[in-house]
Homo-oligomer: A and B are copies of this chain.
Amino acid sequence: MMLFYSPIHGFIHKVLVVAHEAGLWDKLEFVPVYPVKDGYSISAINPLHKVPTLVLDDYTVLYGSQTIVEYLDDNSVSGKKLYPNNKQTRWDALRRLALADTVFEVTVIMALERLQSPPRDTVFSWNWAKVVRSVDQMEEDLKINFKDFDIGHASTLHALSYLDRQTKRGLHKSIPEDWDWRDGRPNLHKWFSEAIKRPSVTSHFNKEYVGDDTAEFCQKKIAEVLKFQGRSAPEKFTSHSVDFVPPGD
């Protein structure tokens, strides 16, 4: 399988954690995509031009991070399953998945807004309140669900590590410089400190990508997918500097 993904340092990709937990790490060919840079458009195989995008061995293309993680988990060869079989547990895991995915999304929105001149203050007031309430909810959730590691936890890891990365950079003047989601949330802090030691996290957390991350490589892999789908590759690399999307969904 090919995984078109963002190798940017400091992201914990939910999909990478799930792939590793499922024992599928070695079956993945990683194709780095830098959606904001010219030449990396993957829109020929995914109209949304978003990562992650997963190409199966029969060249079926899957997108939507929630589609991809469920697919990987369903095809687990490790014996581990992050989607609970018990229905009640499953709905709770999916709720926490939605919670964390949205924390990630709104943090991306604020990180992008920071780059605008001038940034709109309301973007931060709207979204920051959500982040604070959501990490409070995560603290509550961790009080009663500490032992298992499910898809909700994989997403929580992803969201919190990205939140770390962005709050340390300083998001906005309205957000205290020394704000840390760990403060006053001992369960969440303890859980996160343990969770990042999992092999599925250390496999990539704080590691630089090693390999070919050029636009040429990315487009070569896309051409391979299109060929097997009986379609032609684009004649030349398209510039997508105006087709920016956050590197994740």
Taken together as a complex, chains A and B put the C-alpha atoms of A249 and B249 apart, in Å, by: 13
Given A129-B243, A242-B122: A134 and B48 within 8 A (CB)? yes
| Shortest distance between the CB of A76 and any CB in chain B (Å) | 13
Chain A interface mostly helix, strand, loop or mixed? helix
Is the beta-carbon distance between B102 and A87 smaller than 8 angstroms? no
Q: Taking the complex as formed, is A30 at the interface, i.e. its CB lies under 8 A from any CB of chain B?
A: no
Contact B74 A87 (CB under 8 A): yes
A126 partner residues in chain B, CB cutoff 8 A:
242-245
Q: A2 → chain B, closest Cβ, in Å?
A: 15
5 A-B contacts (beta carbon < 8 Å): A48-B99, A63-B95, A64-B94, A71-B94, A102-B249
For residue A182, CB closer than 8 A to chain B, the reply is: no
The answer for the CA separation of A97 and B67 in the assembled complex, in Å, is 9
A102 touches B48 (CB 8 A): yes
Nearest 10 CB-CB pairs, A to B? Answer: A64-B98, A47-B133, A67-B94, A47-B137, A47-B134, A125-B242, A48-B102, A129-B243, A67-B98, A62-B95
The answer on a CB contact under 8 Å between B63 and A66 is no
Task: Let me know if A64 and B99 touch, CB within 8 A.
Answer: yes
Tell me the count of chain A residues lying within 8 A, CB to CB, of chain B.
Answer: 41
Residues of A within 8 A of B (CB): 43, 47-50, 60-64, 66-67, 70-71, 74, 87, 91-92, 94-95, 97-99, 101-102, 116, 120, 122, 125-126, 129-130, 133-134, 136-137, 242-245, 249
Partner of A66, one of B62, B98, B130: B98
> Is A47 within 8 A of B136, CB to CB?
yes
| Measured CA separation A245–B128 after assembly (Å) | 12
Taking A67-B94, A130-B245 as known contacts, 17 extra A-B pairs with beta carbons closer than 8 A to each other, sorted by chain A number, are: A47-B99, A48-B98, A48-B133, A49-B130, A49-B133, A50-B102, A60-B92, A62-B94, A64-B97, A64-B98, A66-B66, A71-B94, A122-B244, A125-B242, A125-B243, A126-B244, A126-B245
